[in-house]
Amino acid sequence: MVAKLSKGFWPKVARIILRNRILILLGVVAFTVFLAMQWKNIRFSNSEANILPDDHPATIEYRSFTKIFGEEGNAVVLAIRDSALFEPDNFNRWNRLAKQLAAFPEIDYVISLENLLVLEKDKETQSFTMGPFIENEPTTKQEIDSLKYHLFKELPFYDNLVYNPESGTIQTIAYMDKDIMNTAVRNEFILNDLRDLVDTFEAETQMDVRISGMPYIRTWNTKSITDEIGIFIVAALLVTSIIFFFFFRSFRATFISMFVVIIGVMWAFGILGLLQYEITILTALIPPLIIVIGIPNCIFLINKYQQEVNKHGNQAKSLQRVISKIGNATLMTNITTASGFATFIILDSDLLREFGIVASINIIGIFILSLLIIPIIYSFMPLPKTKHLKHLNKKWMDFFVNWMERMVRDHRIAVYMVTVGVLVLSIVGIYQMRITGSRIEDLPKDSHFYKDIQFFEQEFDGIMPMEIVVDSKRKNGVTKPATLKRMDRLGEVIDEIPELSRPISIVDLVKYSKQAYYNGIPKYYQLPTSQENTFIMDAVSRSSTDGNLLESFVDSTGQTARLTTYMRDVKIDRMEEIEKDMQEAIAKNFPADRFDVFMTGKALLFLKGTKYLVKNLLMSLALAIGLISLFMAYLFRSFRMVLISLVPNLLPLVITAGLMGFLGIPIKPSTILVFSIAFGISVDDTIHFLAKYRQELATHRWHIKKSVYAALRETGVSMFYTSIVLFFGFSVFIISDFGGTKALGGLVSATLLFAMLSNLILLPSLLLSLERSIANKQVLKKPQIDILPKEEEADLDK
């Protein structure tokens, strides 16, 4: 029943398309205008990618933390390492910069030398007060030297918070309003107001200001991604059009193909706006992907049209055959490609789900556009001239096709030996692969914000916050001397880890309180004894300051406290070691029956998110392979044919994985996508080849050798064109400033070349070598779906 339906379906489609050309074009224009109107809803993601699902333990713990203490990644830091800063004019100008910064409504509060507070004891009330670090604006170098000595030698509480005593670096911390952290207002402030403020300061003082912090990095990273989307769309169009023209030698064919994929890109942005999805690091890949997947459709359709014209010169018959003979095969290839991306939809990650939905919809969309626009436009044009068909008979192309035939016919043993050898080497390389990467590894290395990250890592031991939450399970439990000592011991462990900064917590505040209680003498910056703790904490509770001294470190009940540290940019494997060491220290110092202690923060979420993403992408790839295997089994009703069709598509993936191992390219989110993209595209070549092979089997009365050679000769040219265009199309990503984008472009390009050779040499070789095994009654039955049924020839001739 399905076969009969398929047999008459595509001729009907061809007639409908060609008889309703104007109406269909108007429909395409109307739908394109509708989607263009949705562009107003397009917005770039201002928040960090939500990789982990909402019910993941790490996500739950982070939300629990932010509910108590608020988001921890809202600080923008400015720093200067220059002895000229301690000249009166420069010193006062730096303080004025902090005042200007604090005046912006986007800034919640600022910690700087200008407003630094010193904890002092009020002897009359036996409480603590906060006095200004700078009482009057200094006018002489001696006054500034005195302030510097007081800060560096007598205020250890601010060590690594506002100063580095070794290098003399001074830091200002501006905490942004948490309500605007994930909005476009943040970007406007950082890119315009903050930049102008700093540029003015640098011009007046001739000093270099370093800027960083998670809001700053996220903003500039988003801007870089935004800038590159347009660059890569233009570059991909330019490169693919040049290569396309080189093969077809036809401005007409080139312009039509570019017109199709440009509309496809417009649809992609329109669907993003229609669904109101943000443009993230993954959805930003969709417009170039539409070009990548749309060009093969154009190549197969236009090449088939020109072949038909070259055979008989009848335009109507040529256009009908393009739709009916290539349409079904192209539909199958696009369905398999869309299925590969659609597997992301079932995953728990919003980031992956949205990517899968938009990508799969647009892949089907570009197929519909290709099938409608190309035949209709050609129907209004005169037949291609003889010079436009010369590429079909190029000597170098004949040489390439003849070489493939010789390899398949005479050197199959050599093909298998090379295949096995490459497979063994690739497996060796796979064993050298590591799941690694870091939070800033893929950022542009030459960018100013990347260099500033390195500066802050050197001066203040990192900018990525990591939090440890201690729940004492009782009111005011964290202020007890025993709990403070446990937290202090944990802080000592953190301090010994070179990749982590000195932690800051209630322990530091209590130490500072003891120092203040003993008139600010630095040697008393230590935890009080049990007896001292009683009256010191009483003094803290009686203190009248701007807000509660404890509110930044402890919740309102005194039951839960936080330890905040910052992490350098380290690889994931090292992050796992640090996490393990920290968990051991937590278990040692905080008995599970008396305390609930967990680690969280952006640094840890990145670790968990990367591992989760890699795991899910591998699962998605396995699911895609399974779905396509079922599709092949339904198509050919032969287990052997399923295996034969999968081998040339899995081999390139194995080779690429091996190359990654040998070249030291780690498995990470930006490189794991290579396998899904490459597998979907390489399967397209297999389906086109097997579709033609099935047709030739019927034509040559199931003579496998003749069918293989005929299929190789006709589809080999289109597959070669497609692979070369895609190779150079993906190669444009190598010019990216982002390491992940470079890796994606280079690896996909290499994989597609391997896939082309595998489908053009290994696949035909397997069909010929297994001729007797597959030439049985089961395989020779008509397939469930006639991809290219023979009967259509007679119908179309009529």
768-774 mean pLDDT? 67
- On whether the CB atoms of residues 741 and 733 are closer than 8 A, the answer is yes
541 band by pLDDT with thresholds 50, 70 and 90: low
**Mean pLDDT, rounded, of the chain:** 81
27 band by pLDDT with thresholds 50, 70 and 90: very high
10-34 mean pLDDT? 90
500-519 mean pLDDT? 87
393 band by pLDDT with thresholds 50, 70 and 90: low
487-495 mean pLDDT? 91
Alpha-carbon gap, residue 337 to 685, rounded angstroms: 11
Shortest CA distance to 676 belongs to which of 286, 430, 358, 343?
343
Long-range contacts, stretch 120-127, CB < 8 angstroms, 24+ apart = 120/516, 120/520, 121/516, 121/517, 121/519, 121/539, 125/542, 126/535, 126/538, 126/539, 126/542, 127/539, 127/540, 127/542, 127/543, 127/544
Say if residue 785's pLDDT is above 90.
Answer: no
309-321 mean pLDDT? 81
Kindly report the number of other CB atoms within 10 A of residue 391's CB atom: 18
Please report the pLDDT score of residue 394 as a whole number: 63
771 band by pLDDT with thresholds 50, 70 and 90: low
DSSP secondary structure, 200-237, as one string: HHHHHH--PPEEE-HHHHHHHHHHHHHHHHHHHHHHHH
437 band by pLDDT with thresholds 50, 70 and 90: low
Q: Domain 2-49+219-431+606-797 - what CATH class?
A: mainly alpha
469 band by pLDDT with thresholds 50, 70 and 90: very high
Lowest mean pLDDT among 169-183, 706-720, 771-785: 771-785
767 Cβ neighbours under 8 A, 6+ residues apart: 644, 693, 704, 708, 774
Alpha-carbon gap, residue 74 to 213, rounded angstroms: 8
Higher pLDDT, 189 or 1: 189
Please report the pLDDT score of residue 669 as a whole number: 67
Lowest mean pLDDT among 145-154, 243-252, 262-271: 243-252
- Domain range summary for the chain, segments of one domain joined by +: 2-49+219-431+606-797
Please report the pLDDT score of residue 317 as a whole number: 84
Q: Residue 108: enclosing H or E segment and its boundaries? A: strand 107-111
Lowest mean pLDDT among 20-29, 96-105, 563-572: 563-572
Lowest mean pLDDT among 164-178, 397-411, 753-767: 397-411
61 Cβ neighbours under 8 A, 6+ residues apart: 469, 598, 599, 600
Say if residue 548's pLDDT is above 70.
Answer: no
Q: Report helix, strand or coil for 430.
A: helix
Shortest CA distance to 28 belongs to which of 263, 332, 345?
263
Say if residue 65's pLDDT is above 80.
Answer: yes
273-293 mean pLDDT? 82
680-701 mean pLDDT? 74
Q: Where are the alpha helices (DSSP H) in 313-411?
A: 315-321, 327-342, 350-379, 386-389, 395-410
Alpha-carbon gap, residue 688 to 291, rounded angstroms: 19
Lowest mean pLDDT among 325-334, 357-366, 646-655: 325-334
Please report the pLDDT score of residue 779 as a whole number: 47
Say if residue 676's pLDDT is above 70.
Answer: yes
Q: For residue 585, what are the CA distances in angstroms to 241, 497, 498?
A: 60, 12, 16
Alpha-carbon gap, residue 113 to 79, rounded angstroms: 12
707 Cβ neighbours under 8 A, 6+ residues apart: 693, 696, 697, 699, 700
Instruction: Compute the CA torsion angle 181, 183, 184, 185 (nearest 10 deg).
Output: -60
Q: Residue 470: enclosing H or E segment and its boundaries? A: strand 464-471
375-382 mean pLDDT? 87
7 band by pLDDT with thresholds 50, 70 and 90: low
Shortest CA distance to 712 belongs to which of 311, 296, 417, 409?
409
- Written as six digits, the tokens of 683 are 């399967």
The pLDDT tens digits of the residues spanning 591-620 come to 988 999 999 887 788 777 777 777 777 777
Say if residue 362's pLDDT is above 90.
Answer: yes
Say if residue 137's pLDDT is above 90.
Answer: no
